[in-house]
Chain A
């Protein structure tokens, strides 16, 4: 399995000659003493935030809904630049403008209902500002078909999104994210709307296909975070700050063993305090 993944990453990258060099190297992100407040709010949403996102691994951020974890992700995706006050240091290594190097995956699949599955996967190529020759377009088309094959939906390329189940739609969204081929992938609870088994399968698939990338996953599900995280943060308080948690040493994606279950119980107890 490991070999085929490496070869996929290589083909995906070579198919995008226009991309700058930094696209191919993983990016490390660090936030120190982050502070975030919405313009239309009196109180800060985040304060004293210290987060370290290692390159080429999954960082999971846990927290109850409404704690500000989505705000953090949306800030990283540059979706909040005109809506919030931000102070604190955001460093990337190698140094780059983060907004050009991220792909964003939300809780809703956000498939355009008027585009076929294949066209949805290719959406980023339509919206990029780079001019496209026929040769590039052909290679992009082949790449999109290959990605649909990877997520197991090769035969659904010409369907409309509404004809697919929730799990399939989120798999198309995953293929679309892979098509963007960005070194950083920001995920905002993309698996939370799925049933348990679809979620489990999609977590494994996403983990397998996003191996070389720096992934930040926001979630409210401790089990999901424990399974996938190489680094785990829990966000609590009002305004919220983040605290790093120790993880079992086993290899990701983890099987849920006794150690994981114990950690899950600890996290649950801590999160439960927030609801009182």
Chain B
């Protein structure tokens, strides 16, 4: 694929400010590695903290919805509203409230993954096999023991699929936040590079971002498989 890319650039004599050749991008990657690395670290932090924040919040919401039926009635519209309004639209408000630092990006990432996590987790908690619950009941389990020993572990595979979706879309939230307003991060770097027609640098940042996302996905997948060995 890289060869095709290189061939297209050479053959059509593409100007570097429209489509840089992979060799150019690679050169830029080496040349500016310290700056790229610095900004990647910022974005990585935003993604990780956003994930942490979003997953815990989703888990908490799902539990509330399971345990208190009335809560579900007013949480659900809130949940859907949080998805109906595009994050891009809320982004400027978040910048205003939380500043240009990483806090607003963490909230963006958390906001974007919060919905899949909550729904997956809630579905998992709700669909515990009836037989498991019956067995626990005949053993005299209390509601709390039932949740702790039966419902929560039984929901883990469902939560895991939520997390798999989340690790893929969390970077979108973080980078979108950086685009709207920031002073650091890969999104910021891309925006700057674009404005200065340094398209090769933009591609270099893009390349790092995709490597970051893919690595994140496979690490998460591996970890989840380790932690939930009974899931097929």
Beyond A114-B230, A126-B149, A160-B230, is A180–B131 a contact (Cβ under 8 Å)? no
Interface size range of chain A in the complex: 20 to 34
Per the bound structure, the CA–CA distance linking A202 and B176 in Å amounts to 61
A79 contact set on B, CB distance < 8 A:
134, 137-138
Docked Cα-Cα span, A113 to B146, in Å, equals 15
Contacts of B145 in A (CB 8 A): 126-127, 129
B interface footprint on A98-133 (CB within 8 Å = 1, 0 otherwise): 011011101010101110000000011011110000
Could you tell me if A127 and B149 are in contact, using CB atoms closer than 8 angstroms? yes
Residues from chain A with Cβ under 8 Å of B141 in the complex: 127
Query: Across the A-B interface, how many residue pairs have beta carbons closer than 8 Å?
Result: 57
**Majority SS at the chain B contact face:** helix
B158 to chain A, nearest CB (A): 13
Count contacts on B: residues with CB < 8 A to the other chain. Answer: 22
Cα A250 to Cα B90 with chains together (Å):
80
Please measure, in the bound complex, the distance between the C-alpha atom of A78 and the C-alpha atom of B154, giving whole angstroms: 23
Instruction: Judge if B132 is at the interface, Cβ distance under 8 Å.
Output: yes
Taken together as a complex, chains A and B put the C-alpha atoms of A100 and B129 apart, in Å, by 23
Q: Are B136 and A127 in contact (CB under 8 A)?
A: yes
Q: Does A232 contact B (CB under 8 A)?
A: no
Interface set of A (CB-CB < 8 Å, partner B)? 74, 77-79, 99-100, 102-104, 106, 108, 110, 112-114, 123-124, 126-129, 160-162, 180
Question: What would 30 A/B residue contacts be, using CB atoms closer than 8 Å?
Answer: A74-B134, A78-B137, A78-B138, A99-B138, A102-B138, A103-B138, A104-B135, A104-B138, A106-B131, A110-B129, A110-B135, A112-B154, A113-B230, A114-B153, A114-B154, A114-B156, A114-B228, A123-B136, A123-B139, A124-B139, A127-B140, A127-B141, A127-B145, A127-B146, A127-B149, A128-B140, A129-B145, A160-B229, A162-B230, A180-B139
Nearest 6 CB-CB pairings of A with B: A113-B230, A127-B141, A104-B138, A127-B139, A114-B153, A124-B139
